[in-house]
Amino acid sequence: MTDYRPAGEDFGARLSFDRGEPGRRAVDVPCWSGDESPLPDAHLLRDSLRLPELSQGELVRYYTALSTRNYGIDSGTYPLGSCTMKFNPKVNDLIASLQGFAEAHPLAPEEDMQGTLRTLLELRDGLAEITGLPAVSLAPAAGAQGEFAGVLMIMAALQDRGELAQRRRILVPDSAHGTNPATAAMAGFQVTQIPTAADGSLDRDTIERELDETVAAVMVTVPNTLGLWERGIEEVAELIHEAGAYLYADGANLNAIMGRIRYGDLGFDVAHLNLHKSFSTPHGGGGPGAGPVCCSEELAPYLPTPILEQGDDGVVRLAAPERSIGRMQQFHGNVGVLLRATAYMRALGLDGLRSVSGQAVLNANYLRVLLHGWYDLPYDRPVLHEVVFSGSRQRREHGVRTYDIAKRLIDHGFHPPTVYFPLIVEEALMIEPTETEPPEAIEALANALIAIAKESAEDPAALHAAPTTAPIGRLDETAAARRPVLRWQPPSP
Amino acid sequence: MSSPHPYIPATDADRALMLERIGVETLDSLFHDLPASRRDPAISLPPALTEPELIALLSERATENAAPSRPSFLGAGAYRRSVSSIVAHLTSRSEFVTAYTPYQPEISQGTLQSGFEFQSVVCELTGMDVANVGLYDVASATAEACLMAARATKREAVALLEPMHPGAIDVVQTYARGPALRLDVLDSPEFVSEAHACLVVQQPDFLGTIRDLAPLADAAHARGALLVVVADPFALGLLRAPGDAGADIVTGEGRDLAGGAAYGGPSLGLFAARSQFLRQMPGRIVGRTREVEAGDGREPRTGYVLTLQAREQFIRRERATSNISTAQALIALAFTIAVQALGPQGLRESAELCYQRAHDAARRIAAIPGFDVPERGPWFQEFLVRGPLAAPQLAAESSARGITPGLDVSDRQEPEADEALLFCVTEATPDSHVNALIDALAEIGAEA
Q: What CATH number does the domain containing B333 carry?
A: 3.40.640.10
Q: Say whether both B126 and B233 belong to one domain.
A: yes
Q: Do both B140 and B188 map to the same domain?
A: yes
Interval B387-405: pLDDT, tens? 999 999 999 999 999 999 9
Q: Which residues contact A400 (CB under 8 A, 6 or more apart)?
A: A391, A394, A456, A460, A463, A464
pLDDT (average), residues A53-80: 97
User: What CATH number labels A91-347?
Assistant: 3.40.640.10
Say if residue B322 is in the same domain as residue B401. no
Model confidence at A141: pLDDT above 50: yes
Residues of A in contact with B273 (CB under 8 A): none
Question: Percent of chain B beyond pLDDT 90?
Answer: 91
Q: Which residue in A has a C-alpha nearest to residue B180's C-alpha?
A: A188
Query: Hey, are the CB atoms on B174 and A336 less than 8 Å from each other?
Result: no
Q: Is the peptide bond before B163 cis (omega within 30 degrees of 0)?
A: yes
Asked if pLDDT for residue B101 goes beyond 90, the answer is: yes
Residue B141: φ, ψ to 5°:
-65, -40
**A78 to chain B nearest CA, in Å?**
9
Same domain, B394 and B250: no
Yes or no, beta carbons of B100 and A115 under 8 Å apart: no
DSSP string, B344-406: HHHHHHHHHHHHHHHHHHHHHHHTSTT-B----S-BSSEEEEE-SS-HHHHHHHHHHTT-B--
Chain B CA closest to residue A174: B317
Q: Which residues of A touch B305 (CB under 8 A)?
A: 475, 477, 480
Q: Is A2's pLDDT higher than 60?
A: no
Of all residues in chain B, the percent with pLDDT exceeding 70 is 99
When the pLDDT of each residue in chain B is averaged and rounded to a whole number, the result is 96
Position B293 scores a pLDDT of 78
Residue A1: predicted pLDDT:
47
Q: Do A475 and B378 touch (CB under 8 A)?
A: no
| pLDDT at B2 > cutoff 60 | no
From A283-292, A439-448, B301-310, B313-322, the region with the lowest mean pLDDT? B313-322
CA distance B68 to chain A (A): 6
Higher-confidence position of B319 and A386: A386
B41 within domain boundaries: no
Residue in B10, B46, B121 nearest the CB of A349: B46
Give me the mean pLDDT over the A269-287 stretch: 97
Reported as a single tens digit per residue, the pLDDT across A84-126 is 999 999 999 999 999 999 999 999 999 999 999 999 999 999 9
Which residues of B are less than 8 Å from A15 in CB distance?
113, 116-117, 120
pLDDT on residue A7: 64
Mean pLDDT of A287-291: 97
Give per-residue pLDDT as tens, B426-439: 999 999 999 999 99
Phi, psi of B275 (to 5 degrees): -65, -25
pLDDT exceeds 60 at position A298: yes
pLDDT at A493: 73
Residues of A in Cβ contact (< 8 Å) with B111: 70, 285-286
Phi-psi region of B370 (alpha: psi -120 to 50; beta: other; left: phi over 0): left
Task: State the pLDDT confidence band at B1, using cuts at 50, 70 and 90.
Answer: very low
Question: Per-residue pLDDT tens for B330-376?
Answer: 999 999 999 999 999 999 999 999 999 999 999 999 999 999 999 99
Instruction: Examine the domain organization and report whether B191 and B256 are in the same domain.
Output: yes
Domain boundary at B293, B315, B337, which? B337
Virtual torsion, Cα B189, B207, B344, B124, nearest 10 deg: 30
Please tell me the distance from the alpha carbon of residue A231 to that of residue A3, in angstroms, as a whole number: 48
pLDDT score of A112: 95
Answer yes or no: do B96 and A54 touch at CB < 8 A.
no
Residue B9 above 80 pLDDT?
yes
Same domain, B293 and B438: no
**pLDDT the model gives residue A4:** 56
**B297: in domain:** yes
pLDDT attached to residue A5: 62
Residue A294 has pLDDT above 50, yes or no: yes
Contact between chains at A329 and B239 (C-beta distance less than 8 A):
no
pLDDT tier, B13 (very low <50, low <70, confident <90, very high otherwise) = very high
Q: Which residue of B has its CA nearest to A332?
A: B264
In a domain, B218, yes or no: yes
Per the CB < 8 Å rule, is B337 touching A59? yes
Q: Report the percent of chain A where pLDDT is more than 70.
A: 99
- Candidates B309, B304, B242; CA nearest to B282 is B309
CATH of domain A355-479: 3.90.1150.10
Q: How far is B192 from chain A (nearest CA, A)?
A: 23
Name the least confident of A188-197, B209-218, B268-277, B316-325.
B316-325
Query: What's the pLDDT at B159?
Result: 98
Q: Which of B5, B178, B301 sits opposite A10 (nearest CB)?
A: B301
Segments making up each domain of chain A, as ranges:
91-347, 355-479
Same domain, B238 and B101: yes
Determine the Cα–Cα distance for residues B141 and B146; give it in Å rounded to an integer. Answer: 9
Number of structural domains, chain B?
2
Window 421-450 of A, Cβ < 8 Å to B: 421, 435-439
Task: Tell me the pLDDT of chain A averaged across its residues.
Answer: 96
Chain B residue nearest residue A140, CA to CA: B136
Asked whether residue B271 falls in the same domain as residue B173, the answer is: yes
Do B159 and B211 fall into the same domain?
yes
The reported pLDDT for the residue numbered A6 is 65
Which three-class secondary structure string do you get for chain A?
CCCCCCCCCCHHHCCHHHCECCCCCCCCCCCCCCCCCCCCCHHHECCCCCCCECCHHHHHHHHHHHHHCECCCCCCCCCECCCCCCCCCHHHHHHHCCHHHHCCCCCCCHHHEHHHHHHHHHHHHHHHHHHCCCEEECCCCCHHHHHHHHHHHHHHHHHHHCCCCCCCEEEEECCCCCHHHHHHHHCCCEEEEECECCCCCECHHHHHHHCCCCEEEEEEECCCCCCCCCCCHHHHHHHHHHCCCEEEEEECCHHHCCCCCCHHHHCCCEEEECCCCCCCCCCCCCCCCCCCEEECCCCHHHCCECEEEECCCCCEEEECCCCCCCECCCCCCCHHHHHHHHHHHHHHHHHHHHHHHHHHHHHHHHHHHHHECCEECCCCCCCCCCEEEECHHHHHHHCCCHHHHHHHHHHCCCCCCEECCCCCCCCEEEECCCCCCCHHHHHHHHHHHHHHHHHHHHCHHHHHHCCCCCCCCCECHHHHHHCCCCCCCCCCC
**B305 contacts A480? CB cut-off 8 A:** yes
| Residue B68 in domain | no
Local confidence band at B4 (pLDDT 50, 70, 90 cut-offs): confident
Sort out which chain B residues have CB atoms less than 8 A from A435's CB and list them: 7-8, 10
* pTM greater than 0.80: yes
Q: How confident is the model at residue A368 (pLDDT cuts 50, 70, 90)?
A: very high
Residue A268, pLDDT > 80, answer yes
Cβ contact (<8 Å) for B72 and A29? Answer: no
CB contact under 8 A, A231 and B264: no
Contact A1 B262 (CB under 8 A): no
Same domain flag for B310 and B395:
no
| B284, B319, B337 - which closes a domain | B337
Q: Is B266 in Cβ contact with A51 (below 8 Å)?
A: no
pLDDT score of A483: 95
Question: What's the confidence (pLDDT) of residue B47?
Answer: 97
CB–CB of A50 and B124 under 8 A? yes
Supply the pLDDT for residue A321. Answer: 98
Is residue B298 predicted with pLDDT exceeding 90? no
pLDDT at residue A74 is higher than 70: yes
Q: Which of residues 339-378 of A touch B (CB under 8 A)?
A: 339, 342-343, 345-356, 358-359, 361-363, 365-366, 368-370
Nearest-CA residue of chain A relative to B341? A26
The residue segments making up the domain with residue B420 are 367-447
The confidence band for B313, taking pLDDT boundaries of 50, 70 and 90, is confident
Mean local confidence (pLDDT), B194-217: 98
In this prediction, residue B312 carries a pLDDT of 85
User: How many angstroms separate the CA of residue B336 from the nearest CA in chain A?
Assistant: 10
